[in-house]
A and B are shown apart, each in its own frame.
Chain A
Amino acid sequence: MSTLHTVNKSPFATQALISCLNHAKAGDAILMIEDGVYGGLGGTGLTEIIAEFGKNVSLYVLSPDLAARGVDAGRLIGGIEGVDYSGFVDLVAKHDRTQAWL
């Protein structure tokens, strides 16, 4: 049993991503969408925390949201995978439940 978490706010604006990381279980997946994709950036004040949590969960970003914001995939924390919309659907199907962090 595992959960797909989605986060749609920048971690520099709200607590959503940190709270999500605090409640996610090993084997869960976190998909960063909309402004949430900023959480995937390397070299920020939060990178270390996020990378540390990322050891137990799979981290994804929605590539169209990343592209829309002009963020090159090369700037993401290592290990974060980009998915397109059908990849999003696959993630939903793969997990037992989806939980949104607003």
Chain B
Amino acid sequence: MSEVKKFLYVNRKAPYGTIYALESLEVVLIGAAFEQDVRLAFVDDGVFQLTKGQSTDGIGVKNFSPTFRALGDYDVNKLYVERESLEERGLSEDDLQEITYEDEDDDWEEKPSIHIISRAEMADVMADADVVLSF
């Protein structure tokens, strides 16, 4: 395996109106096999992807929000959510589902994967990536 790179997946679309959100999640899951340093950013309407209580029975498409909770199993445990994007949409951290991972290096302690960060911090996260994949 060559050197580990920082891959940042930037999610800026709401979940069901377009295919972007689902495609992003599938690429993340497939890409996880390559054992790179993976981070997910949720900006603008992308923050809607993580809201709790999604129920798609009535629209005949798959509810993929539970799949975000599996990301920890794939060693994807850095989900950055932009505070300003939440606030602009009348949301707070309480509106998001809980996503955790078990820290292998800390006796499998369960830790939160979601980090709410400011816009300025998000700009830093973006500038820190080796590869940016946009959805």
Q: Which residues of A contact B70 (CB under 8 A)?
A: none
Number of interface residues of B (CB under 8 A): 17
Give the A-B pair count, Cβ closer than 8 A. Answer: 37
Which residues of B lie under 8 Å from residue A23 when comparing CB positions?
A: 43, 119, 122-123, 126
Known: A3-B127, A19-B12, A24-B123. A99 touches B132 (CB 8 A): yes
Which residues 1-46 of A sit at the B interface, judged by CB distance below 8 A?
A: 1, 3, 15-16, 19, 22-25
A-chain residues with CB within 8 Å of residue B135 when the two chains form the complex: 102
Q: Within 8 Å of chain B (Cβ to Cβ): is A101?
A: yes
Q: Give the shortest distance, in Å, between A28 (CB) and chain B (any CB).
A: 8
Chain A contact surface mostly: mixed
Say yes or no: A19 contacts B43, CB within 8 Å. Answer: yes
Interface contact A25-B129, CB-CB below 8 Å: no
Chain B residues with CB under 8 Å of A22's CB are 119, 123
Q: Does A97 contact B (CB under 8 A)?
A: yes
In chain B between 98 and 135, which residues have their CB closer than 8 angstroms to a CB of chain A? 119, 122-123, 126-127, 129-132, 134-135
- Residue B64 at the A interface, CB < 8 A? no
The docked-state distance in angstroms from the alpha carbon of A43 to that of B131 is 36
Q: How far is the CB of A1 from chain B (nearest CB, A)?
A: 7
Bound Cα distance from A102 to B132, whole angstroms = 13
Is the pair B44, A15 in contact by a Cβ cutoff of 8 Å?
yes
Q: Shortest distance in angstroms between A94's beta carbon and chain B's nearest beta carbon?
A: 16
Q: Which residue of the partner chain B has the closest CB to A98?
A: B132
Note all chain B residues with C-beta closer than 8 A to A102: 12-13, 20, 134-135
Task: Kindly state whether residue B79 has any CB partner on chain A within 8 Å.
Answer: no
A residues adjacent to B (C-beta < 8 A): 1, 3, 15-16, 19, 22-25, 97-102
| CB<8 Å pairs between A and B, sample of 13 | A3-B126, A3-B132, A15-B44, A16-B12, A19-B12, A23-B126, A25-B123, A97-B131, A99-B10, A99-B132, A101-B12, A102-B134, A102-B135
On B, residues with C-beta under 8 Å from A are 10, 12-13, 20, 43-44, 119, 122-123, 126-127, 129-132, 134-135
